[in-house]
């Protein structure tokens, strides 16, 4: 992983308020990295950072907005993970509400674990992740080679 990380930010509807509060608190750190957000979360993150930055977003700041999760944003994010284009995920998911795209959410979590990405699913873990000294330096990520596992399973 490079010094500048590509951080995905995702929040279910009932957790968007928590994401906005977290971004308000951490916006200065987040602006040193590239952000990838799904749907409405991306708009809220961008608005929050713009407000905290005094109305403008610096030209060196980058945010990529994907589709809304239920409209394929979770799958877009999964594809970026598989392509090695995401370094960490902050995913404030709502464990108390059913979601029409639960299968996509599970697939996203699975692919993040498969590619050994740091993933925070609540504010406490997100706080630990963003305050890690590893966030602002290069990091040699260990990825498990599953090819022998797949060959063994498929015969």
Active site residues: 74
The rounded radius of gyration (Å) of the Cα atoms in the chain is 16
Mapping DSSP onto H, E and C, the string for 72-84 reads CHHHHHHHHHHCC
CB atoms within 10 A of CB 54: 7
């Amino acid at each position: 992983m490079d010094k500048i990380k590509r951080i995905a930010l995702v929040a279910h509807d009932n957790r968007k308020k928590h994401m906005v509060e977290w971004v308000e608190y951490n916006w200065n750190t987040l602006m040193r990295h590239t952000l990838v957000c799904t749907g409405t979360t991306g708009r809220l993150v961008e608005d929050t950072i713009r407000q905290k930055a005094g109305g403008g977003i610096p030209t060196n700041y980058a945010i990529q907005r994907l589709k809304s999760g239920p409209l394929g944003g979770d799958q877009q994010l999964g594809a970026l993970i598989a392509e090695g284009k995401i370094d960490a995920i902050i995913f404030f998911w709502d464990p108390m509400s059913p979601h029409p795209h639960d299968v996509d959410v599970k697939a996203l979590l699975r692919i993040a674990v498969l590619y050994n990405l740091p993933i925070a699913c609540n504010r406490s873990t997100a706080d630990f992740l963003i305050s890690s000294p590893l966030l602002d330096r290069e990091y040699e990520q260990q990825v498990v080679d599953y090819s022998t596992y797949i060959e063994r399973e498929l015969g």
